[in-house]
Amino acid sequence: MSYSVGIWGLGESGVGAALLARRKGLTPLLVAEQPLSPVYASRLSEAGLSWEITNEPFNLLQNCTLVVRSPGIRPDNHTLLRLQEKGIPLISDLEWGWQHFPTGSQLWLVTGTTGKTSTTHLLTHLLKTAGRDAIACGNIGRSFCAVLAEEHRYEYYVVEASSFQLWDTYSLIPHLAVITNLSLNHIDWHGSFEAYSHAKLHFVQRLPVTSHLIYDAGSHRLEKALSKYPIAASCWRYRAEKGPGIHAWIENQTLICDMRTPEDPERWEVSYEGTSLMNPAQQKNGLAAAIAARLANLRRSDLRRCFETLETQPHRMEQIAIIDGVMYVNDSKATTTDAVWHAMSSFDRGIVWIAGGVDKGNDWGELMDIVRARVRALVLIGKDVHKLEEAFHGTIPLIVRAYSMEEAVEKAASIARPGEVVLLSPACTSLDWYENYERRGEAFREAVEKVRARNGNAP
C-alpha cells in the first residue's frame, strides 16, 4: 500500500505533523521506533489515527511519496540515507507546517545558538501586550504543526527553530526572522561548524524584499556567516554598543532604538530599570524586540509595558535562593559556552561554577578570560568532565568532581563564601543524567532546598 505522506517519529513534532495531515484530509503512515507516551497515543487515537512501531522504518516509509522527519533524526541516519537514495523527499515538521500555513497570518521565526527560547517568549509577550493575537510554538511548548492543526487561526505564529528543524526546510519563508547569535554548537550532530551554520542560516537566501531579518551584529561568527549568503530582505542590526549601521543598542541601562527614516522619524529610548531584563543577554533580547515592535507598528509604551510585565523563564538565570549570604542561580538551559559567558558576565562577584554533562563540541577557550576573572571553584558533573578539567586546570584554583546533583550542590555550598554565587550553568546537554535540561534544573532546585532546610534558612 502506498501513502502520500509518512510521519517518522511520534514525539511532540511528529504527532503535531500527523494531526495537521489529518486536518488536511490525509491519512498519513505513522511510524515510530519507540512506544508512544500515553498522552501522544491518546491524541492520535482521538483523531482516528493508527501507527506502527518498528525497528526497520525503511520497510514502511519506502512506500510514501513524502516523509516528514522528526527533529531527533540525524542527517547521517542510515534509514534517512536509504530513503534519499530511493528519491523520496524528506522534510522537517517546520517545512510541513509552512506548506499548510494560513494565508493572512505572519510567521516570526527565532533561531540562533543561545537566547532562542527567551527571545521567542519575549516577542510573543510583546505582541500579546499590544493586543495582537499571537502564540509561541516550535521548539518551545507545543509544536508548530500541532498549533496549525487547531481550528483557531492566530495573527502571529512566533516559532523557535533549532538547527535540527531548519536544515531540511526548502520553502520556509518567515515574514520576520530574528537570529540571536552564532557559536560552536551541535558539532557532534552536524559534523562541523560549517554544516551547523548552514543548517541554521540557509533560509536567509530565500527571504524576499518584503521580509525582515533582525540579528545580533555583536556576534562576529554570525556576521561572517551571513556575509556568505545573498540577502534581499531588509536587515536590521543590534548589539550592546552603538556603532555604524546599528539600529538598537544599550546606554546606561537604557535601550536605544534608532531606525529613523522619512516614514518613521522617532528615536525610542526605553529604560530597563525596574524590569526583569537586567542581565546582558536578556537586554540584547530586548533590542531585537524593540526593532520587531517598530516593524509591527507597535508603540513605545507597548514595549515598556511588555518589559514591566515579563515573567522570568525557569532554568534561565533563575535565582533559587540566598543562603548564608550565597546566591544560588539555576541556569540549566545554558548548554553552550556562549550562554555560560553571558551568565558569568551578569555577576561582579566570585562564582562557584557547576558544569558538565554531554559535551556538544565546545571550544572552552572562549570562556578562559571570564573564568580566570570570576570563577573561584568548579564542581564537575556528568559524563564529559575530562575536557572541562583539562581546559581549566591551572586557571581555576579549585576543581572537584561530584557524582550527583545533590553532591554537587553540597560541595558548592561548602566552598562558597558570603557574597558569592553558586551558578549551575553546565555548558553541556543533560542527557547523561537527566531526560532534559528542565529536570536537571529541578534537581538543582531540590538540592538547594535541602541545603536551605539544613541551614535553617526560611524560604
CATH number at residue 235: 3.40.1190.10
- State which amino acid sits at residue 212: H
pLDDT score of 161: 96
Residue 459 in domain:
no
Chain center to CA of 283: 16
Same domain, residue pair 245 and 128: yes
Same domain, residue pair 171 and 230: yes
Last residue of a domain, which of 66, 88, 110? 88
Q: Which three cell numbers stand for residue 188?
A: 557532534
| 160: enclosing H helix or E strand | strand 156-160
Q: Distance between CA 12 and CA 22 in Å, rounded?
A: 15
- Low-confidence residues in the chain, pLDDT < 70: 1-3, 261-264, 456-459
Last residue of a domain, which of 309, 342, 363? 309
* Sheet arrangement for strand 90-92: 52-53, 29-32, 6-8, 67-69, 90-92
The phi and psi torsions of 400 (rounded to 5 degrees) equal: -130, 160
DSSP 286-313: HHHHHHHHHHTT--HHHHHHHHHHPPPP
Instruction: Please enumerate in sequence order all residues whose Cβ is within 8 A of that of 244, keeping only pairs 6 or more positions apart, or say none.
Output: none
Distances in Å between the Cα of 281 and the Cα atoms of 116, 203, 382, 444 are 11, 25, 26, 22
DSSP 71-127: TTS-TT-HHHHHHHHTT--EEEHHHHHHTTPPTT-EEEEEESSSSHHHHHHHHHHHH
Same domain, residue pair 104 and 120: yes
Residue 35 in domain:
yes
pLDDT score of 345: 82
SS3 256: strand
Last residue of a domain, which of 88, 113, 132? 88
Residue 158 in domain:
yes
DSSP 211-231: SEEEEETT-HHHHHHHTTS--
Same domain, residue pair 437 and 345: yes
Longest dimension (CA), the chain: 69
Chain center to CA of 271: 26
Residue 126 in domain:
yes
Q: Distance between CA 444 and CA 355 in Å, rounded?
A: 12
Same domain, residue pair 247 and 273: yes
pLDDT score of 72: 86
Residue 341 in domain:
yes
Q: Distance between CA 267 and CA 259 in Å, rounded?
A: 7
pLDDT score of 379: 97
Same domain, residue pair 153 and 295: yes
pLDDT score of 228: 97
Q: How many CA atoms lie within 13 A of 401 on its CB side?
A: 11
Residue 1 in domain:
no
Same domain, residue pair 288 and 211: yes
Same domain, residue pair 77 and 141: no
Asked if 270 contacts 248 with a C-beta cutoff of 8 angstroms, the reply is no
* C-alpha distance across the termini of the chain, in Å: 62
Q: Which domain holds residue 32?
A: 6-88
Same domain, residue pair 364 and 295: no
DSSP secondary structure letter of residue 62: T
Same domain, residue pair 61 and 109: no
Instruction: Please enumerate in sequence order all residues whose Cβ is within 8 A of that of 283, keeping only pairs 6 or more positions apart, or say none.
Output: 240, 250, 255, 272, 277
CATH number at residue 28: 3.40.50.720
Same domain, residue pair 204 and 331: no
SS3 329: strand
Residue 281 in domain:
yes
pLDDT score of 264: 66
Number of domains observed in the structure of the chain: 3
CATH number at residue 418: 3.90.190.20
Same domain, residue pair 16 and 100: no
